[in-house]
Structure 1
Amino acid sequence: MYNDEKNLYHYTYRKDGSEQPGENLVNPQSVPGSDNEHRENVQEMKPVKKNRLGMKIAALCLCCALLGGAVGGGVAWMAGGSSTSISVSSRPATEVAIKTVDGKTEMTDAEVYAANVNSVVSINTTGTAGTNFFGQPVQTASAGSGFVLTKDGYIVTNYHVVEGADTVTVTMYNGDEYDAKYVGGDEDYDIAVIKVEAEDLQAVTVGDSDTLNVGDHVLAVGNPLGELTFSMSGGMVSSVNRAINVSGTPFNMIQTDASINPGNSGGPLFNSYGEVVGIVSAKYSSASNEESVEGLGFAIPINDVIAMIQDIMTNGYVTNKPYLGITGGSMTEQMAAQFRYDIDSGVFVYSVEEGGAADKAGLQMGDVIVKVGDKDITSMEDLNVVKKQYSAGDTATFTVYRDGQEMTVEVTWDAVPAQEQTDTSAQAEQNADDSYEGMDPYDLFDYFFGGRYN
């Protein structure tokens, strides 16, 4: 350590700082009175030679590591400095050949898109929804999708996409816009046809939805959110013939996990051969908590509606839509108790239209329909689902409850009158329920039966 003695610094190896006699004394050769008189002969400290071998090895390793990293990172060290290079792939861009949809050639997703994107359209509508506080009409706007069915401009979409629209505008993939005219539609099946004045449009090829199997690959092309135009999403068929209820209307659907969002409605669902097998119609939301659920999308099987679409193109409405000619509602336990019926489910017949299919078959007011063919009927919803399996002119066996026992009648379905095309069976049921809502059960019974079953 260092000692301070007379402002002179001395180094000693002793821990207590003491010095041995003769250690670090004034140089005996100093000449009194000279400039060196008070200069001490400080012990010369020679640098300690440490073992540098370890440090050299460490430095060598560090250099090697830095050099390896520089080479691996594409950095080349040069005499005058350094330059940085990035490796870029030389693979050329893949060209997608536009193939013709022939129903025999399976395509890649990119080929399906290239073959059909010019047949998909974006649909924008405007309308009026009532009036505001000042009595002024409230303008509305919505967006959806569709696809070209014929070269001369017939386009298919969902009924709910164009329902109540004042104007309908169609935009093609190339940016061309057309004003479209509403031809007709059917709310029960959520289908509609619109028409644009154009020629030589690229039309889709309609496939066979009955050949779909769970696990088959499908693709949806449309305009999600109304602004992400001509987007494609892919997935598999999650279920076929899935019965779901959309706003009170039953539908037979293709279920898919392809991403479907608002704005996709009315667009085509393609199989891997580029054929249209469905019309995208709904995105599932949980009825219990109104939360959106991912991976659950639905499309109307094209086989279920293609004949109706052609009918709409020709006549403006579905001429062969089955019609029973009754006003009915779902049977309840309260009705069964008050009317002393032995059953508490089925479709209660409130009234029978004179000359209609039900009247001709012998159905009566107060009958309860419990089966159509081999399908059990527990509610009006069940009857609506079964009815969609028939066309006007078809005959079905109805099992009805009457006078405490079951009986069967043969019903030949009528066609829906043209003036009633906009009415749905669900609406008819609701109207029937509303008409008699609030009536005392006994009054209701007397209203229909005149006390006949007292």
Structure 2
Amino acid sequence: MKSTYLASAAVLLGLATSLTARPMLPVVDDNKIISSLADGLGKLVDAGKVPTAKTLAPQLKKKTCKITVPSPSTQKPENLYDSCADSVVAIASVYKCTKCPHWHHNGAATGWILTEDGVMVTNYHVFDGKDVSGFGIRTRDGRIAQVVEILAASQKDDVAIFRVAGEGFKPLALGPDARVGDDLHIIAHPDTRFYTYTSGKVSRYYKKRSRKRNGATAMAVTAEFARGSSGGPALDSKGNVVGMVSSTQSIYYPSQKKSEAKGPFQMVIRNCVPVSAIRALVEPVAK
């Protein structure tokens, strides 16, 4: 009987050891992220280090940029989220109201790091038409940096490549074009729910029919996302970028009643920018 007790104790001790040895779960403090981004960016604006939205706006007309991008990964990471989340950033703009001396944010969008020296990517619409004091990013570990330049952009494809102050960032690589049916993974910030992971598949490629993006190729996916996810990377199983979150479209059945503008809700179409549209803005640097 004594040996049985000892064996049981050993099992419990081993279980406790294995549990305590496991890494901490990535618990996200949403309020801390958005408040620290607004406060940190506000201080940079006060110091005169942040270009205004009006200064950046003409740079959205730049068509291409010359940068050296990392080579695609050929190995699957042990955990894709742990491997790639540090390369995803939150983007916000700040302004001051007339009722208090504090800086305020306009919510947050998503972006991702393309090079170690501060080149990053998000959607064109994140920068377009904003009348704010400046834009900035926050990395997962709390680093705040101001957007200093837009390097290239495409309104049609909804892509903007920009640079922030600083270096030593962890980049993602541009991967090959994803095929219909391929698995993909998204890390983004839906409605300030920061670093949310979803997964799904590529459902189709098609031509957009909207006024600003008419004729652009879009990649429809089944992975879920929402407002604030704009600019989030769509990753293959090796952690390479194969697309970027752009927009959603809700489909409703036609209403049978004249008093109702819409009938029953049916589904959401989730659109991404394909990686080919991002790659088109990057001119390879001659070696």
Instruction: Name the TM tier (shorter chain).
Output: 0.5 to 0.7
The answer to whether residue 180 in structure 2 is matched with residue 214 in structure 1 is yes
Alpha-carbon distance, 1:231 to partner = 1.2
Residues 191 and 309 in structure 1, CA contact (< 8 A), matched pair in contact too: no
Matches within 5 A, 1:353-432: none
- When normalised by structure 2's length, the TM-score is 0.63
**1:121 aligned residue:** 89
Alpha-carbon distance, 1:149 to partner = 0.8
The answer to whether residue 144 in structure 2 is matched with residue 171 in structure 1 is no
Alpha-carbon distance, 1:303 to partner = 1.3
Residues 258 and 295 in structure 1, CA contact (< 8 A), matched pair in contact too: no
**1:303 aligned residue:** 276
The answer to whether residue 70 in structure 2 is matched with residue 103 in structure 1 is no
**Counterparts in 2 of 1:285 and 1:182: CA distance versus 1, 3 Å:** farther
**2:243 aligned residue:** 278
Could you tell me which amino acid in structure 1 is paired with residue 146 of structure 2?
A: D
Matches within 5 A, 1:126-275: 126=94, 141-165=106-130, 166=132, 167-183=134-150, 184-209=152-177, 212-225=178-191, 227-239=192-204, 241-246=205-210, 248-250=212-214, 251-275=216-240
Once superposed, what is the RMSD of the aligned Cα atoms? 3.4
- For residues 279-337 of structure 1, the C-alpha deviation after alignment (integer angstroms, 9 at most, x for no partner) is 111112238749876553121111123121459x9xxxxxxxxxxxxxxxxxxxxxxxx
Could you tell me which amino acid in structure 1 is paired with residue 278 of structure 2?
A: V
Residues 155 and 212 in structure 2, CA contact (< 8 A), matched pair in contact too: no
**1:112 aligned residue:** 80
Could you tell me which amino acid in structure 2 is paired with residue 104 of structure 1?
A: T
**1:365 aligned residue:** none
Take 2:208 and 2:83, find their aligned partners in 1: how far apart are those partners? 32
Question: Whose RCO is larger (CA < 8 A, sep 6+)?
Answer: 2
Take 2:187 and 2:160, find their aligned partners in 1: how far apart are those partners? 18
Take 1:248 and 1:163, find their aligned partners in 2: how far apart are those partners? 12
Could you tell me which amino acid in structure 1 is paired with residue 137 of structure 2?
A: V
- When normalised by structure 1's length, the TM-score is 0.41
- For residues 332-387 of structure 1, the C-alpha deviation after alignment (integer angstroms, 9 at most, x for no partner) is xxxxxxxxxxxxxxxxxxxxxxxxxxxxxxxxxxxxxxxxxxxxxxxxxxxxxxxx
The percentage of counterpart residues that share the same residue type is: 23
**Counterparts in 2 of 1:125 and 1:221: CA distance versus 1, 3 Å:** same
Take 1:175 and 1:290, find their aligned partners in 2: how far apart are those partners? 44
Take 2:149 and 2:72, find their aligned partners in 1: how far apart are those partners? 30
Which ranges of structure 2 fall in alignment gaps of 5 or more residues?
1-11, 25-69, 97-103, 255-261
**Counterparts in 2 of 1:186 and 1:175: CA distance versus 1, 3 Å:** same
SS at match of 2:80: helix
Could you tell me which amino acid in structure 2 is paired with residue 219 of structure 1?
A: H
Take 1:102 and 1:160, find their aligned partners in 2: how far apart are those partners? 27
Q: How many positions carry a matched residue from both structures? A: 208
Take 2:235 and 2:196, find their aligned partners in 1: how far apart are those partners? 13
Which ranges of structure 1 fall in alignment gaps of 5 or more residues?
1-86, 129-138, 314-454
Take 1:292 and 1:124, find their aligned partners in 2: how far apart are those partners? 31
Take 1:89 and 1:270, find their aligned partners in 2: how far apart are those partners? 37
Take 2:155 and 2:114, find their aligned partners in 1: how far apart are those partners? 20
Residues 72 and 175 in structure 2, CA contact (< 8 A), matched pair in contact too: no
**Counterparts in 2 of 1:310 and 1:266: CA distance versus 1, 3 Å:** farther
Highest CA radius of gyration, 1 or 2? Answer: 1
